Amino acid sequence: MTFAVFRGIFEAPLVNPYQFRLRHKDGTYRWFAWTGAFEDGRVYANGRHVTAEHEQAEALARAEEQLRHSQKMEAVGQLTGGIAHDFNNLLAGISGSLELLQTRMCQGRLTELDRYINAAQGAAKRAAALTHRLLAFSRRQTLDPKATNVNRLVGGMEELIRRTVGPAVEIEVTAAAGLWMTLIDPGQLENALLNLCINGRDAMPDGGRLTIETANLWLDDHAARDHELPPGQYVSLCVTDTGTGMAPDVIKRAFDPFFTTKPIGMGTGLGLSMVYGFARQSGGQIRIWSDVGHGTKMCLYLPRHQGDEDSTEGAAGLARTAQVEQGKTVLVVDDEPAVRMLVTEVLEDLGHTVIEAADSVAGLRVLRSDVHIDLLITDVGLPGGMNGRQVADAGREVRPRLKVLFITGYAENAAVGNGNLVPGMQVLTKPFEIQTLASRIHELTQPA
Ligand SMILES: Nc1ncnc2c1ncn2[C@@H]1O[C@H](COP(=O)(O)OP(=O)(O)OP(=O)(O)O)[C@@H](O)[C@H]1O
Ligand SMILES: [Mg+2]
């Protein structure tokens, strides 16, 4: 790399300083920034000693990363209290519906069963969405910028925001039709949005209204100068509250790290500085409008991205499920009896034969026997000393063409390679819909 850069000097002057390190006699490294040019058969080069700057930049990056992390954990902390409570409510909805279902069946009142089934399913879906968001949110690593549909992102956060701000705050979402795409780190934008909403909630101790609004925006030269942005097309995301508002001197300092007007232990003063950092780093901007006593509006401006949304998993293939196919033999390994029963019933409905195993040892015993098996369905977290991935790998040693479907809780994705799986292996995340399970089984049992 370094040689290539220096060779490049013969073709074009090296204007942007190129940094590389040399080892000092004492074993530590020193950094130099080089510029250079080639003229009349001579190379003129200029190297500047920049070790101090380099170390400073690294320390800054480290500190920023820590800041982001602590900010995120703070927000997660804010969430968990309310969520345990909400979760119990959802569970009550599920178990209550099941109980009533049982009662009505005993009474022979079979016409009203749908209601309870729907109620239980609805609550289970909301609970699943909630845990999913929570887990996604608490993941530590910062994600890459992706072509993102901000409307969709806001929609995905709505439930979480609602639960975070509590019932005293009414939430209104106004999503612009035909909103442009933007290239940002979706995880960080979610974090920023949640921070703005938490600020809004804190400014409305007696409740009020929080409006989340998206829009397309064209900044001409003049408007762009006002916003300290290059002219062009932007997507705006604004959060407005009907709270206390901010005095001019508070507005001026709001983005400063550690600036807070909240009592000790209530605020770190890092929320807005993080949002600001994220907006600028994404080529955007954030602006505040506020009047004491009249509430606050904060807007994020994010540059438009020309291009399609980075595709998430399509729903294709879901439709063609229920047809009964050639009976196959499937080994199901899961320590949770309810999941095993569910999977088994789906398989049997599809006309397959099922062998069940409750742990890795039992599963492996079947795999090493000479029973015919077309497909292995296994949980990733398993008792018995091996995880599902290891069981599958051991199974493939004796059955190289064994098809595998992993069923996993979200957090275990790493154990199965974060989705980078060899052909013939697939992952299904818990909780899943029966339809999805059926279509995965169908896909995997098709002849290649
Ligand atoms: N929507 C708002 N309404 C009124 N004041 C606000 C609003 N948002 C921010 N502020 C003011 O700006 C200050 C800084 O906000 P910031 O989000 O950076 O820190 P914080 O909310 O105090 O602490 P943290 O976000 O770390 O919990 C707040 O203490 C508050 O005084
Ligand atoms: Mg805050």
> Measured in angstroms, how far is the CA atom of residue 260 from the centroid of ligand 1?
6
Q: How confident is the model at residue 412 (pLDDT cuts 50, 70, 90)?
A: low
Q: List b or e across 71-106, with b for residues whose CB sees 16 or more CB atoms inside 10 angstroms.
A: bbebbeebbeebbeebbeebeebbeebeebbeebee
178: left (phi over 0), alpha (psi -120 to 50) or beta: left
> Measured in angstroms, how far is the CA atom of residue 351 from the centroid of ligand 2?
55
> What does the pLDDT read at residue 368?
92
> What does the pLDDT read at residue 340?
84
Is 246 near ligand 1, meaning CB less than 6 Å away?
yes
Q: Which residue CA neighbors atom 1 of ligand 1 most closely? A: 200
> Measured in angstroms, how far is the CA atom of residue 134 from the centroid of ligand 2?
19
> What does the pLDDT read at residue 433?
78
Q: What is the mean pLDDT of residues 392-406?
A: 92
Rounded to 5 degrees, what angle do the CA atoms 38, 40, 44 make?
A: 35
Q: List b or e across 373-409, with b for residues whose CB sees 16 or more CB atoms inside 10 angstroms.
A: bbbbbbbbebebebbbbbbbebbbeeeeebbbbbbbe
Which of 70, 202, 256, 298 maximizes ligand 1 atoms within 8 Å of its Cβ, making it the mutation to test the pocket? 202
- Residue the block writes with tokens 């007007």: 261
Is 78 near ligand 1, meaning CB less than 6 Å away?
no
145-312, what's its fold? Heat Shock Protein 90 (3.30.565)
Q: How confident is the model at residue 345 (pLDDT cuts 50, 70, 90)?
A: confident
> What does the pLDDT read at residue 138?
56
Q: How confident is the model at residue 316 (pLDDT cuts 50, 70, 90)?
A: very low
| pLDDT for 35 beyond 60 | yes
Q: Which CATH architecture has domain 329-445?
A: 3-Layer(aba) Sandwich (3.40)
> Measured in angstroms, how far is the CA atom of residue 325 from the centroid of ligand 2?
56
Calpha distance 363→390 (Å, rounded):
11
More confident residue, 324 or 433: 433
> What does the pLDDT read at residue 366?
92
Is 250 near ligand 1, meaning CB less than 6 Å away?
yes
Question: Which of 84-98, 290-304, 349-363, 431-445 has maximum average pLDDT?
Answer: 290-304
Q: How confident is the model at residue 399 (pLDDT cuts 50, 70, 90)?
A: very high
Is 211 near ligand 1, meaning CB less than 6 Å away?
no
Q: Which residue CA neighbors atom 5 of ligand 1 most closely? A: 246
> Measured in angstroms, how far is the CA atom of residue 266 from the centroid of ligand 1?
10
> What does the pLDDT read at residue 417?
61
Calpha distance 442→436 (Å, rounded):
10
- Tell me the pTM: 0.51
More confident residue, 211 or 64: 211
For residue 169, which ligand has an atom nearest its CA? 1
More confident residue, 288 or 344: 288
| pLDDT for 178 beyond 90 | yes
> What does the pLDDT read at residue 284?
93
| pLDDT for 314 beyond 50 | no
> What does the pLDDT read at residue 357?
93
> What does the pLDDT read at residue 172?
96
Choose the weakest-confidence range: 262-266, 308-312, 383-387.
Answer: 308-312
> Measured in angstroms, how far is the CA atom of residue 271 from the centroid of ligand 1?
7
Q: How confident is the model at residue 67 (pLDDT cuts 50, 70, 90)?
A: confident
Is 212 near ligand 1, meaning CB less than 6 Å away?
no
> Measured in angstroms, how far is the CA atom of residue 272 from the centroid of ligand 1?
7
Rounded to 5 degrees, what angle do the CA atoms 434, 435, 436 make?
A: 90
> Measured in angstroms, how far is the CA atom of residue 206 from the centroid of ligand 1?
17
Computed over every residue of the chain, the mean pLDDT equals 83
Measured from the Cα of 244, ligand 1's closest atom is 4
Calpha distance 386→359 (Å, rounded):
9
Choose the weakest-confidence range: 73-82, 235-244, 259-268, 282-291.
Answer: 73-82
Is 254 near ligand 1, meaning CB less than 6 Å away?
yes
> What does the pLDDT read at residue 312?
42
More confident residue, 312 or 1: 1
Is 203 near ligand 1, meaning CB less than 6 Å away?
yes
> Measured in angstroms, how far is the CA atom of residue 315 from the centroid of ligand 1?
40
> Measured in angstroms, how far is the CA atom of residue 336 from the centroid of ligand 2?
41
Paired tokens of 433: 């819909």
- Torsion sign across C-alpha atoms 417, 421, 426, 432: positive
Q: What is the mean pLDDT of residues 388-406?
A: 92
Q: What is the mean pLDDT of residues 409-417?
A: 59
Q: What is the mean pLDDT of residues 282-306?
A: 95
Q: Which residue CA neighbors atom 24 of ligand 1 most closely? A: 267
Is 244 near ligand 1, meaning CB less than 6 Å away?
yes
194-222: per-residue pLDDT in tens? Answer: 989 999 999 999 999 999 999 999 999 99
> What does the pLDDT read at residue 206?
94
Q: Which residue CA neighbors atom 11 of ligand 1 most closely? A: 254
Is 333 near ligand 1, meaning CB less than 6 Å away?
no
> Measured in angstroms, how far is the CA atom of residue 175 from the centroid of ligand 2?
24
Calpha distance 398→375 (Å, rounded):
14
Measured from the Cα of 272, ligand 1's closest atom is 18
> What does the pLDDT read at residue 11?
84
134-166: per-residue pLDDT in tens? Answer: 665 555 434 468 899 999 999 989 988 988 898
Paired tokens of 279: 């907006």
Which of 69, 272, 289, 291 maximizes ligand 1 atoms within 8 Å of its Cβ, making it the mutation to test the pocket? 272
Q: How confident is the model at residue 169 (pLDDT cuts 50, 70, 90)?
A: very high
Q: What is the mean pLDDT of residues 246-272?
A: 84
Measured from the Cα of 245, ligand 1's closest atom is 4
Q: What is the mean pLDDT of residues 39-57?
A: 86
Sequence ranges of the domains in the chain: 2-49, 66-141, 145-312, 329-445
Which of 165, 199, 242, 297 maximizes ligand 1 atoms within 8 Å of its Cβ, making it the mutation to test the pocket? 199
84-141: per-residue pLDDT in tens? Answer: 667 777 888 888 889 888 888 998 888 878 888 988 888 888 787 777 666 655 554 3
Question: Which three-class secondary structure state does DSSP give residue 184?
Answer: strand
CB 430 within 8 A of CB 409: yes
Q: How confident is the model at residue 351 (pLDDT cuts 50, 70, 90)?
A: confident
Q: What is the mean pLDDT of residues 390-411?
A: 87
> What does the pLDDT read at residue 137?
57
